Structure 1
Amino acid sequence: MTGPSLAGVLGRKAGTADGFARYSDALKQSGLVWDKRNLDAWLENPAALVPGNAMTFPGIADARTRADLVAYIEAVSTGRVKVPDRGLPNLKESDAASRVTSIRFCGDTYRLTTADRKAHVFWEFNLRFKTDGSAAGPAAGQPVLIGTGMQGDRAAVVFARPEEISAFIQRRCP
């Protein structure tokens, strides 16, 4: 979910997936074309195959595991296997419990109110502000609260555009 889909990657030049602009210069300039050999080498050690790339993945040492993954990528790329749709949720369809109506900040605490009129309190270090300008992102001016695991103490608020973030947050103590 942080990179482009690997469906259709076989035969494609590295760093060229349509709609993905976050490739490192090293990968874009590598001249690699994704074939089984290059995929295996990448999966084994991305840093060794393309020094200076931005991939944080350390690699897979086990040759059988890599071979299985390359076989799956080949099956998906050739259409023998359908890729499950695991895209991000459509935030425009969020319910009242997720739509944020106000955000107040005081000390080290954010207090959010959602459209169902419930209050949510987060320590500033546990709340992230993100943007999603895609067609599935939230409507302008209607940020969405998304839990990010743990025990309900961490979350993200997703806005439609970066400039909405500062305008939406009020510095006000109860």
Structure 2
Amino acid sequence: MAFAGAANSEEKAEMVKKGAPAYRICAACHSLQPGVHLSGPSLAGLWGKKAASVDDYGRYTEALRKEDLVWDEDTLNAWLADPQAMVPGTTMTFRGVEKDDVRANLIAFLRRAMTEGGTVKVVKEGLVSERMASGPVPPELSSLGANQRITEIRHCRDGYFITTADGAKFPFWETNVRIKIDTSLRGPKKGEPVLLRSGMAGDRVSVVFSSLAEFKNLVAEKC
């Protein structure tokens, strides 16, 4: 098996290079930047560390917390092959990498990227772009224009009625409005929820608050 050879040798530059493109499947949910947590925790510096041990990431499942796992070639090989089989009860929505050689190359790349300072190395060496290393980080919401900063939001019957800082007023069907909270430094300023449009017709929107308390305080039930 390809992995067996890789597990008994030093990191091979060719395997690392081949594994870099496969990292796309990880980058959909993870960042290599320290402290940047997305759907999953940051992978920065996790090589050789205990699973479920990132202090400022609070969404690990109890199933993973209870496992005595350390991230290395063997554990990653089993995890990337089938997370559900390795840790029953995990909520990681990933079907696994079936091909042994693809998995071995990806692990070779991860070994390089997940060591201390590995993020800088893999970007500097051109293995992945800075954007891919960062992952799908949400947009900066603290400095949007007046047409996206919400000054009033009320709910009436089956709709949300939103007023933005430029004075514009918009009615939206409640089913087309996603209420979100972003407590990160990238999130909206306190007391200034923001409006993000999506959909072909722009009739689907996300309203992003800086905290749950803000949502409760700023949304009025009023017709």
Query: So what's the TM-score if we normalise by structure 1?
Result: 0.86
Q: Which residue of 1 aligns with 2:97?
A: 60
Q: In the alignment, which of 73, 85, 108 is matched to residue 134 of structure 2?
A: 85
CA contact (8 A) 1:128 1:157 kept: yes
Does the residue aligned with 2:220 lie in a helix, a strand or coil? strand
Letter in structure 2 aligned against 1:27 = L
CA distance in 1 between partners of 2:69 and 2:209 (Å): 36
Q: Which residue of 1 aligns with 2:157?
A: 107
CA distance in 1 between partners of 2:165 and 2:221 (Å): 20
CA contact (8 A) 1:13 1:32 kept: yes
Structure with the larger helix share? 2
Offset of 1:144 from its aligned partner? Answer: 1.3
Does the residue aligned with 2:77 lie in a helix, a strand or coil? helix
Please state if 1:69 is matched with 2:106.
yes
CA contact (8 A) 1:15 1:23 kept: yes
Sequence identity, in percent? 44
In structure 2, the CA distance between the partners of 1:115 and 1:65, relative to structure 1 (3 Å rule), is: farther
Please state if 1:159 is matched with 2:209.
yes
Please state if 1:98 is matched with 2:135.
no
Matched residue count: 173
In structure 2, the CA distance between the partners of 1:127 and 1:77, relative to structure 1 (3 Å rule), is: same
Q: Which residue of 1 aligns with 2:35?
A: none
Coordinate RMSD, CA, aligned: 2.1
CA distance in 1 between partners of 2:87 and 2:145 (Å): 44
Structure 1, unpaired ranges of 5+: none
CA distance in 1 between partners of 2:71 and 2:93 (Å): 19
Offset of 1:120 from its aligned partner? Answer: 3.2
Q: Which residue of 2 aligns with 1:51?
A: 88
CA distance in 2 between partners of 1:11 and 1:61 (Å): 24
Q: Which residue of 2 aligns with 1:8?
A: 45
CA distance in 2 between partners of 1:130 and 1:160 (Å): 9
Deviations 1:123-161 (CA, angstroms, capped at 9, x unpaired)? 212212122222222111111122355542322211111
CA distance in 1 between partners of 2:201 and 2:103 (Å): 35
Which structure has the larger Rg over C-alpha atoms?
Answer: 2
Offset of 1:58 from its aligned partner? Answer: 2.5
Letter in structure 2 aligned against 1:168 = L
Letter in structure 2 aligned against 1:19 = D
Using the TM superposition, name which of 9-18 and 80-89 deviates more.
80-89
Structure 1 residues 117-156: aligned runs within 5 Å: 117-149=167-199, 151-156=201-206
In structure 2, the CA distance between the partners of 1:109 and 1:14, relative to structure 1 (3 Å rule), is: same
CA distance in 2 between partners of 1:89 and 1:115 (Å): 20
Q: Which has the higher contact order (CA 8 A, sep 6+)?
A: 2
In structure 2, the CA distance between the partners of 1:53 and 1:151, relative to structure 1 (3 Å rule), is: same
Offset of 1:99 from its aligned partner? Answer: 0.9
